[in-house]
């Protein structure tokens, strides 16, 4: 997967792409407008974070490059790449069950905790990218 030149950008399909797992020093994009929301991204090879309107939306350790990140009423979907396996946490609806798919294979149903966070691990080492879909059960 190509690394984005911009830290945060709008895609033609209405999604966003963000992050850069190849950076060795921290970079950020503030006050980015998308769909009536204000986004903020901080990224480098150790961590990538995305906030929406001052609230948590995405975090990965180590850092990832994320493409075509799309929120819907039913969940989130995106593609991620990195040089190593990653722990990804996303912000969703609180106390809700979600079906989680990695590369179109269902890996299980998970329930969000207080605050709406859901965490999963993805195997990225040796892979160009993985696609992730998290849909309300």
Q: How confident is the model at residue 1, as a pLDDT?
A: 45
11, 33, 94 from 15: Cα distances, Å: 5, 12, 23
Kindly report the number of other CB atoms within 10 A of residue 6's CB atom: 12
Domains of the chain and any CATH numbers: 8-136 (2.60.220)
| pLDDT of residue 17 exceeding 70 | yes
Average pLDDT, the chain: 94
Q: How confident is the model at residue 131, as a pLDDT?
A: 97
What are the tens digits of pLDDT across the range 24-48? 999 999 999 999 999 999 999 999 9
């Amino acid at each position: 997967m190509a690394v984005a030149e911009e830290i945060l950008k709008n895609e033609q399909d209405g999604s966003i792409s963000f992050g850069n797992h190849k950076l060795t020093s921290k970079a950020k994009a503030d006050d980015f407008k998308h769909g009536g929301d204000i986004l903020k991204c901080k990224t480098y090879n150790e961590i990538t974070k995305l906030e929406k309107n001052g609230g948590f939306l995405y975090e990965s350790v180590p850092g990832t490059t994320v493409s075509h990140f799309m929120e819907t009423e039913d969940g989130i979907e995106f593609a991620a790449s990195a040089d190593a396996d990653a722990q990804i946490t996303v912000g969703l609806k609180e106390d809700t069950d979600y079906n989680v798919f990695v590369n179109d294979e269902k890996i299980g149903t998970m329930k969000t905790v207080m605050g709406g966070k859901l965490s999963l691990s993805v195997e990225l080492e040796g892979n160009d990218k993985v696609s992730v879909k998290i849909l309300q059960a």
